[in-house]
Chain A
Amino acid sequence: MSASLVMQAILSGITNGFVYALIGIGLAVIFKGTQIINAMQGEFAVIGAMVTVFALEPAGLPYGLSILLGVISGAAAGVIIDRLFVQPMMRQRAGEESFLLLTIGLAVTLSAAVLYLAGRNSYLLPSWGEEGVIEILDAFLQIQALWLIGTAIIVVVGLRLFYGRTLLGLSMMAASMDPDGAATNGINVRRMRSLTFLLGGTIGAIAGILVAPLVAVNYHMGIALTLKGFAAAILGGLSNPLGAVLGGVTLGLLESLAVVGFPSGYKDVIALAMMIVIMIVMPNGLLGRVGRIGG
């Protein structure tokens, strides 16, 4: 095994890792804000990327505007889903599995909708900046990957400041941790929940638009993205956005280094098996944290 092959695996592992991280961050944001695991987080990415693709190609809008439209559509999808489905179910005090079934059903519906509207083709977006690669130790990194990593870092830092320093961020956390207490303090809990979905949809769409120049987007990639993102978030600890980045990069690196030794078909098997093992081996960390909310 040559050194450049390993280096290449490391670089693509880090790139993939930031993709998983961005999906994982979106999942973590929604989990933090609503206590729901959103099984359609990957669909937000597909929506964002697809809207950008079609705004760019048949509609002929400039790239910047197309990206903006893509992000807005992700955010809108988040709010619509919250208003139409999540709010009514919250009022019925639906249980954990009902929300899971809801988001799975939505994932199925959206993926069918993308199939209907965009067909079975896979779509690539042009690079954000200039096309090209940079060479590091005989291995290549696409410039787009730097955009991806840079944006992911900005999102993480931004979220950290948002949740820690702004009144709105603090209100959103309060509304999630203790809805009744937050309501007595004059926080509009319902609006905070909508904002959480808006934020989750936005981050999901950004992830999709950043990935689309590297990996072609198609109608059925949502569920796999969701699972990888979930693995990243679990690995890093669900309640910390920084954790998702750490988890995502670890996952990406393990996956791509394993492929150097195993047939590439096993990439997903390794990542998902690792996710299951982590959940079992470190349940207390996770469940302890979940259990502490409100108690």
Chain B
Amino acid sequence: MNKLRRSLLLLLLVLAWALAPLLLSRHLIDLFVFAGLFTIGGLGVGLLLGQCGIVNLAQALFYGIGAYSSAYVTVQLGLPSLTGFLAGMLASALIAIAVGWPVLRLTGFFLALATLALSLIGNVLFFEWDWLTGGTLGIGGIPKLSIFGFAFDTPERVYYLVWPIAILVLLLADNLVRGRPGLAMRAMRDAAPAAEVLGVDMHRLKTAMFVICAMLGSLAGSLFAHYVSYISVQSFTVERSIAFLLIPVVAGSASVWGIIAGALFVTFIPELLSGFGDIHQVLFGLALVLVVTLLPDGLIGGADRLAQLLKRRMA
């Protein structure tokens, strides 16, 4: 019975998702596309935070590497867009290994601030290396993605591309978390000495997760570049890194599927608040602070607690 109800609910969700573009305005579809991008990029940060207890404030760096790789490869070199995706993910992986291997020796506050510094360094380099990135001018005229001659040139079409990709990486991540690596990571997070005794190579595991996080960031960045077709340094600032981190924080860091809720939150709440005028950024900041203070397990954890409370009331 319960299982049936769950499959029905899932079916309904999928139907709602599939039909949504027919009903929604173009602006809302555009926001949903961004939520999909942030799901992909935020998932990487969420895996690090939820499974390894690592605060990563450098995701905008890899988001940028993906975007610039796609832009450079397609605009300057005129190569197919798939090359851009691969180049970005490869570059991100290599940089994540080179930087992550030494930096992941740090823990806690120190690691978090080191990644924040990396994000800032990345932003300066994006700005200074204008032969590659176009500096403040940015790169325009990035072609829309097309697969087998089918061009993803409207928000509706990109919507149907981005979300399946997001669901796919979520499924893969879910699988990873349920398997041995997930067990090892949570052991490492909760009882590091015990994990080490049991033969978990912690440093290697952390670096591997950092690489996965970087590649997801790069994937989201490449999709972003093709979608908006113009990119500049403003899209890859420290604020973007903070927003990526907030996705799992808002969702409740340990939940893989909750990432979707987090991504929807960071895309839609600012939009809703913008009705209040210029003060909306302050309100958004306050909303985040309140989530951190009042809901240590994020929205998902809060909803769980509410459901339990209601159940107890009913019983």
The interface bits of chain A over 20-57 (1 if a CB of B lies within 8 angstroms of the residue's CB, else 0) are 00000000000000000101000000000000000000
Chain B residues contacting A265 (CB-CB under 8 Å) are: 124, 127-128
Q: Tell me whether A101 is interfacial, beta carbon within 8 Å.
A: yes
- Measured in the bound complex, the distance between the Cα atoms of B102 and A21 in whole Å is 26
A276 contacts B114, C-beta separation under 8 Å = yes
Q: Tell me whether B118 is interfacial, beta carbon within 8 Å.
A: yes
Q: Tell me whether A159 is interfacial, beta carbon within 8 Å.
A: no
Residue total for B at the interface (Cβ-Cβ under 8 A)? 41
Q: Tell me whether A3 is interfacial, beta carbon within 8 Å.
A: no
The interface bits of chain A over 98-133 (1 if a CB of B lies within 8 angstroms of the residue's CB, else 0) are 101110111011101101100000000000000000
Known: A223-B238, A230-B113, A269-B124. A96 touches B108 (CB 8 A): yes
B121 contacts A273, C-beta separation under 8 Å = yes
Chain A residues contacting B293 (CB-CB under 8 Å) are: 85, 88-89, 102
Minimum C-beta distance from A234 to chain B (A): 8
Known: A112-B282, A279-B106, A283-B105. A92 touches B55 (CB 8 A): no
Q: How many A-B residue pairs have CB under 8 A?
A: 107
A279 is contacted by which of B114, B128, B279 (Cβ under 8 Å)?
B114
**Whose C-beta in chain B lies nearest to the C-beta of A109?**
B285
Q: Tell me whether B86 is interfacial, beta carbon within 8 Å.
A: no
Q: Tell me whether B306 is interfacial, beta carbon within 8 Å.
A: no
B279 contacts A116, C-beta separation under 8 Å = yes
Known: A97-B53, A276-B103. A104 touches B117 (CB 8 A): no
Chain A residues contacting B124 (CB-CB under 8 Å) are: 265-266, 268-269
- Measured in the bound complex, the distance between the Cα atoms of B55 and A112 in whole Å is 23
In this complex, which of B55, B116, B249 has the most chain A Cβ atoms within 10 angstroms of its Cβ? B116
Minimum C-beta distance from A80 to chain B (A): 12
Known: A105-B289, A105-B292. A96 touches B109 (CB 8 A): yes
What size tier do the contact residues of chain A reach?
35 or more
Chain A residues contacting B110 (CB-CB under 8 Å) are: 234, 279, 283, 286
Q: Tell me whether A263 is interfacial, beta carbon within 8 Å.
A: yes
A116 contacts B278, C-beta separation under 8 Å = yes
> What is the interface of chain A mostly: helix, strand, loop, or mixed?
helix
- Measured in the bound complex, the distance between the Cα atoms of B83 and A164 in whole Å is 62
B128 is contacted by which of A105, A106, A266 (Cβ under 8 Å)?
A266
Chain A residues contacting B53 (CB-CB under 8 Å) are: 97
**Whose C-beta in chain A lies nearest to the C-beta of B107?**
A287
Minimum C-beta distance from A131 to chain B (A): 33
Give the interface of B toward A (CB within 8 A): 49, 53, 55, 57, 102-103, 105-110, 112-114, 116-118, 120-121, 124-125, 127-128, 238-239, 242, 245, 249, 278-279, 281-282, 284-286, 288-289, 292-293, 296
A-B contact sample (17 more), CB < 8 A, given A265-B124, A276-B117: A85-B289, A85-B293, A88-B293, A96-B109, A97-B49, A100-B112, A101-B55, A105-B285, A109-B282, A109-B285, A113-B282, A115-B281, A227-B116, A268-B124, A273-B121, A275-B114, A286-B110
Sort A-B residue pairs by CB-CB distance and give the 5 closest, nearest first.
Answer: A109-B285, A112-B281, A272-B117, A37-B109, A105-B289
27 contacts between A and B (CB under 8 A): A37-B109, A92-B296, A96-B108, A97-B53, A97-B55, A98-B296, A100-B55, A100-B112, A101-B245, A104-B242, A105-B288, A105-B289, A106-B289, A108-B239, A108-B288, A109-B286, A113-B282, A116-B279, A227-B113, A227-B116, A234-B110, A263-B128, A268-B124, A272-B121, A275-B117, A276-B103, A276-B118
